[in-house]
Amino acid sequence: LGPVMLDFSVPIRRWVMCRQFQCHQLFISWALLSSLPQMVGVVGLEIHAQIQSTSKLFSGSHVRFLAPPNSLVSHFDASLPGTLPVLNRRCVEAAVLTGLALNCTINRKSLFDRKHYFYADMPAGYQITQQRVPIAVNGMLVYSYFEGRRRNQVVTKSVKIKQIQLEQDSGKSLHDDERSQTLIDLNRAGVGLMELVMEPEMCCGEEAAAAVRELQLILQALGTCQANMAEGQLRVDANVSVHRPGEPLGVRTEVKNINSVRHLAKAIDYEIQRQMEVLQSAGKVLNETRAFDSKSGNTIPMRDKEGLQDYRFMPEPNLPPLFVYESEASVPAGVDPAQVVVIDRLSGQLPELPSVKRTRLVETYGILQEHSFTLVNEDGLIDYFENVVQTTKAEPRKVIGWVIKELMGNLNSQNLNVSQSPISPCALAELISLVESGHISSSTAKQVFQEMWKAPEKTVGQIVKEQDLWMINDKEELQKICKRIVDSHPEEVQIIRGGNKKVLNKLMGEVQRETKGRTDPVQIRAILEKMVS
Amino acid sequence: MLGLSIREVSQALRDGRVSATELCRKCINQIQRTRYLNAFITITEETAMEQAQRTDSRLRTGKGKKGIPFSVKDNFCMENIETPCASGMLKGYVPPFNATVVQKLLDQGAVLVGKTNLVEFAMGAGSTDGVFGPVRNPWSYTSLYREQSTEDPDSDWAITGGSSGGSAAAVASLSSFLALGSDTGGSTRNPGSLCGVVALKPTYGLLSRHGLIPLVNSMDVPGIMTRSVHDAATVLRILQGRDERDSTTVQAPSTPPRLPEHFDIRDICVGIPKEYHAPGLSKDTLAQWSRVADMFEQAGARVQEVSLPHTQHSIVCYHVLCCCEVASNMARFDGLEYGHCSKVDSSTDAMYATTRHEVFNSVVRRRILSGNYFLLKSNYERYFVKAQQMRRLIAEDFKNVFRTGIDVLLTPTTLSDAARYSDFIQEDNRTRSAQEDVFTQPVNMAGLPAVTVPTALSHRGLPIGLQLIGQTLQDWKLLTVAQWMEQKKSAFIRSKVQQNSKIWKYFY
């Protein structure tokens, strides 16, 4: 086996490779080249999730996306001297809920710290964060992705969550290169963030992407973060390094500026490959921050604002330790239980999480595991599906086909979401029921579905009638049609009579064509068999 | 009239012997007469007179609140009043909100007559190096002091101490019935002692810091300066309590409406910490300290020597912690949102650097530099953590002493009476702070309440104060003992204070 040079400038190839083999097998060619154990990628993630709350982490200013610049800025957000932080309980509850959903240990006492650096969109000259004792630690995220040529083999993995810390978001700097000035918008300054640190336990872009996708679903289910990467509610930085298993971890780079899950996978795979090439050519990987360029699919070194930055951490003196209580009974006397964060109260509020939802769907409806993923991934699709199932007598397994293939196919091709579907669950249920009761054939039904999509104001019945699509159930008429086909195909009849039963299918096809699919194949087969026997 | 206590002048207002407008006018006139003290940065004459008139009209309807004139150290934010904090950095800065403690006084109908002078960002013990120049101690202009001086009153005068020098001078020179200071390492008690007024540093967290431009967040407390302990207690009652805008505030313990007139000093145990016999303690102050200790003993109080073994390390650790928080707190002054902004704009970094270099004085710059040094990752354990550990031991020292049944500690407030300005500036700010704060900052490290009460005049004719230190949240008990000491000891000082306004006119 010679050096198999994979063309890594074509990202889709890597994507496919990663899917078809175990991730570490992707780089088999390098291993053979060097006759050492193959190098593998090591990926850890740092995720900033903007907390979904009406006001900021330490001030009463509102949180809103796309508000006029500097319209949501309190005295504290602008760091006026003499202002003090006041912790927003809703943000703490969001972090605790998230921690519980990610199997974390919730620290009963956590602390706030100041992290210092000068940056124009951080008015205080420091960020309040939780460096020493964060609110939640030692969690675990279980995620899955699909393997195999048909992408239907579920692989389930888990990654440890080192910690979840509460911290302030920064403002935004807008650079006007033409006039060489920088404009500052402090609307985002002080918005609550949960920083989640995932241990370097992933090995490729696909794993990281799957983990982030699962996290998004969890956060959305909890309502603690809208988790839209394009709008910056979820910001993912990837720490990437490569090494040979058994050896210490390699020097890592931090990849930033990733604004979708797909780009995350691309950026990581590019970076792993880049580092391997650097090492192969006897170079050194630098500990640096790199930005992902979505146009080229490359990562490029960033002008490093953090270089050899010393953050000069110190305890935040204006905030007492943050206490979280196990139950109402453990709240000390003199403290109003309604004013503090109680874990029991929050665990009671935990909604059904995506993984539980998927298991429930598979067990309740007998659908395929891969279909349960699709249902959970699309906002509103479970409700739609369950609605259809309840309104028709058809098997859920039949319903799922309609929902995933027809409905989602149409929605995706037109870039619509479930709530925008022109076909209501009721209408789809009616259509499926007509198939079930034998009033229309399933191939006709697909045709009707497209008509319904185009003309949502019409009922299923109307469409079927207008286009004359009702099933032909009249025995005599069916006999007539079959007779016509048998008579016009004497050669085929001869072959069948000679013992080759397969040719019967051709005759059946002819009948279907003649009737535009409005016949029941089982009935037709019986009639034809009788005629040629 | 101006020499009265708050209690007395309140009665006069109620009785109609004086109107709020008249009283306010008198104070403003007094401020003008004593301009040479340089106690005020801003005189709020116009708004004060308007406010006094409103108070008068409410007083006439019978349900009005008292119009007591007061002044506030210029590191408290006040809506629509320029608050430069004695720094070029905040020149022209007008805060859009009131500090909680100021608002509470305004809510009581008190009339703000001015913002008082300090050192830049309250860093220093002399009130000598702010951008508005040094504050002069009113006692430098009494006949007692002048008779011993051969020099011109413009070259030979005593400092006020600091950093709340302007507030202390305002109360001592009868320009205000009360003044707010801030106390981080002694900044209220030090000038209070040197200017012969009562100066209270309440328990940390009892008064809101919202609107106080911070020096050391973990030690800052608004301080109260008055001419009697009773007045300090009255003001404390108004200002104390939880503020939702300051998460470090605590619920105030319930207190009776006024300090008890009579109480039995024999129930009290007074501790004399031996470590406070520090090098440099003046003869006068030492003598005064023993005399007052004897006085307690003779009156039947239990007086006993106690030990606070970690005291000697306190000042060094105080400086480490102070510099660290200063470095952090000062990071916000980058010229972008408010305050001074340099014209150099070749890059954001260059703008930051020149903005800060142009206006911070050397004291501020030095503290920022050392603070950042102490906080470096490689130094953090050696400096910040060590200082925090020592801070805990110092707090433990106090707890241990109070656990043995001690109610209050009696100590000097400063090493000596006020220094001559020309002598004081022979040493740099850092050295002076280390000397001046030696008896006061351990209290801030431990968060305890302490009050200084003037008890005598030195041979130079300058006031000497003694400090009483109480247990956490026992501010009321502390003031009760302080009032007893005041009644026994310092009535004569008050009479001297009242004579002052006449004496000063003689010189200027």
Q: Please judge whether A116 and B375 are an interchain contact, meaning their C-beta atoms are less than 8 angstroms apart.
A: yes
Instruction: Give the integer Cα–Cα distance in Å for A140 and A191.
Output: 26
Name A111's Cβ contacts closer than 8 Å, sequence gap at least 6. A130, A132, A133, A315, A316, A321, A322
CA angle A356, A358, A363 (to 5 degrees): 95
B347-362: average pLDDT: 91
Q: Please judge whether B376 and A310 are an interchain contact, meaning their C-beta atoms are less than 8 angstroms apart.
A: yes
The pLDDT, as a whole number, for residue B117 is: 97
Name A332's Cβ contacts closer than 8 Å, sequence gap at least 6. none
The pLDDT, as a whole number, for residue A82 is: 97
What residue numbers bound the domain in which A391 lies?
354-467
DSSP assignment letter at B122: G
Q: Please judge whether A320 and B248 are an interchain contact, meaning their C-beta atoms are less than 8 angstroms apart.
A: yes
Q: Both A493 and A459 in a single domain?
A: no
Mutate to test the interface with B, among A131, A314, A323, A336 (most CBs of B within 10 A): A314
Q: What tokens appear for A473 in the block? A: 């159930």
Instruction: Give the integer Cα–Cα distance in Å for B241 and B223.
Output: 14
- In chain B, residues 378-417 whose CB comes closer than 8 Å to chain A: 380, 384
Taking Cα atoms as reference points, which of B114, B139, B177 lies closest to residue B507? B139
Q: List the CATH number of the domain containing A513.
A: 1.10.10
Q: Both A49 and A169 in a single domain?
A: yes
Q: Does A82 touch chain B (CB under 8 A)?
A: yes
Q: Is A241 part of a structural domain of the chain? A: yes
The pLDDT, as a whole number, for residue A20 is: 38
CA angle B320, B325, B327 (to 5 degrees): 95
The pLDDT, as a whole number, for residue A514 is: 84
- Rounded to whole angstroms, what are the CA distances from A504 to A443, A482, A499, A526, B182? 20, 12, 10, 11, 101
B14-23: average pLDDT: 92
Q: Both A480 and A437 in a single domain?
A: no
Q: Both A51 and A148 in a single domain?
A: yes
Question: Which of A381-395, B165-179, B191-205, B252-266 is least confident?
Answer: B252-266
Question: Which of A273-287, B52-66, B158-172, B338-352 is least confident?
Answer: B52-66
Q: Is B168 helix (H, G, I), strand (E, B) or coil?
A: helix
Does residue B498 surpass a pLDDT of 80? no
B288-300: average pLDDT: 95
A503-521: average pLDDT: 86
Q: Is A416 part of a structural domain of the chain? A: yes
DSSP assignment letter at A112: -
Q: Both A514 and A454 in a single domain?
A: no
More confident residue, A321 or A518: A321
- In chain B, residues 316-335 whose CB comes closer than 8 Å to chain A: 324-325, 327-328, 330-334
CB contacts, 8 Å: B324 with chain A: 314
Q: What is the pTM of this model?
A: 0.89
Percentage of chain B modeled with pLDDT above 90 = 78
What is the SS3 assignment for A251-281?
A: CCEEEECCCCHHHHHHHHHHHHHHHHHHHHC
CB contacts, 8 Å: A127 with chain B: none
Q: Is A35 part of a structural domain of the chain? A: no
- Return mean pLDDT, chain B: 92
Instruction: Give the integer Cα–Cα distance in Å for A246 and A440.
Output: 63
Q: What is the pLDDT of residues A181-231, one digit of tens each?
A: 889 999 999 999 999 999 999 999 999 999 999 999 999 999 999 999 999
B112-120: average pLDDT: 96
A320-326: average pLDDT: 97
Instruction: Give the integer Cα–Cα distance in Å for A185 and B431.
Output: 43
Mutate to test the interface with A, among B245, B326, B330, B392 (most CBs of A within 10 A): B245
Q: Which of A27-41, A168-182, A337-351 has the highest mean pLDDT?
A: A337-351
End-of-domain residue from the set A253, A284, A315: A315
Q: With bands split at pLDDT 50, 70 and 90, how would you rate the model's confidence at B507?
A: very low
In this complex, the residue of A75, A79, A318 whose CB is nearest that of residue B332 is: A79
Q: Please judge whether A317 and B336 are an interchain contact, meaning their C-beta atoms are less than 8 angstroms apart.
A: no
**Nearest chain A residue to B84, by CA:** A81
Mutate to test the interface with B, among A74, A76, A84 (most CBs of B within 10 A): A84
Question: Which of A190-194, B58-62, B117-121, B184-188 is least confident?
Answer: B58-62
Name B352's Cβ contacts closer than 8 Å, sequence gap at least 6. A118, B334, B335
Q: Both A309 and A396 in a single domain?
A: no
Mutate to test the interface with A, among B209, B332, B374 (most CBs of A within 10 A): B332
Burial, B35: exposed, middle or buried (Cβ in 10 Å; 0-12, 13-18, 19+)? exposed
Residue A268, CB-side half-sphere exposure with 13 Å CA sphere: 31
Q: Is A385 part of a structural domain of the chain? A: yes
Domains and CATH numbers, chain B: 6-310+394-498 (3.90.1300.10), 311-393 (no CATH)
**Cβ contacts from A onto B, under 8 A:** 102
Q: Both A128 and A270 in a single domain?
A: yes
Q: Please judge whether B247 and A126 are an interchain contact, meaning their C-beta atoms are less than 8 angstroms apart.
A: no
Q: Is A403 part of a structural domain of the chain? A: yes
Q: Please judge whether A126 and B380 are an interchain contact, meaning their C-beta atoms are less than 8 angstroms apart.
A: no
End-of-domain residue from the set A268, A287, A315: A315
Q: Is A22 part of a structural domain of the chain? A: no
Q: Are A74 and A56 in contact (CB under 8 A)?
A: yes
Q: Is A13 part of a structural domain of the chain? A: no
Q: Both A481 and A462 in a single domain?
A: no
Q: What is the pLDDT of residues B129-149, one digit of tens each?
A: 889 999 999 999 988 888 888
In this complex, the residue of A75, A116, A317 whose CB is nearest that of residue B96 is: A75
Q: Does A335 touch chain B (CB under 8 A)?
A: no
The pLDDT, as a whole number, for residue B500 is: 58
In this complex, the residue of A81, A312, A317 whose CB is nearest that of residue B376 is: A312
Instruction: Give the integer Cα–Cα distance in Å for A430 and A449.
Output: 11
Q: Both A440 and A508 in a single domain?
A: no
Q: Is A523 helix (H, G, I), strand (E, B) or coil?
A: helix
Which residues of B does the annotation mark as catalytic?
73, 163, 187
Q: With bands split at pLDDT 50, 70 and 90, how would you rate the model's confidence at A470?
A: confident
Q: With bands split at pLDDT 50, 70 and 90, how would you rate the model's confidence at A34?
A: low
Q: Please judge whether B245 and A80 are an interchain contact, meaning their C-beta atoms are less than 8 angstroms apart.
A: no
Q: Both A217 and A362 in a single domain?
A: no
In this complex, the residue of B95, B325, B332 whose CB is nearest that of residue A317 is: B325
Q: Both A277 and A387 in a single domain?
A: no
Q: Both A462 and A433 in a single domain?
A: yes
> Backbone phi, then psi, for B303, in 5-degree steps?
-120, 130
How many residues can be counted in chain A? 533
Q: Is A172 part of a structural domain of the chain? A: yes
The total of structural domains in chain A comes to 3
Q: Are B291 and B271 in contact (CB under 8 A)?
A: no
Instruction: Give the integer Cα–Cα distance in Å for B100 and A31.
Output: 69
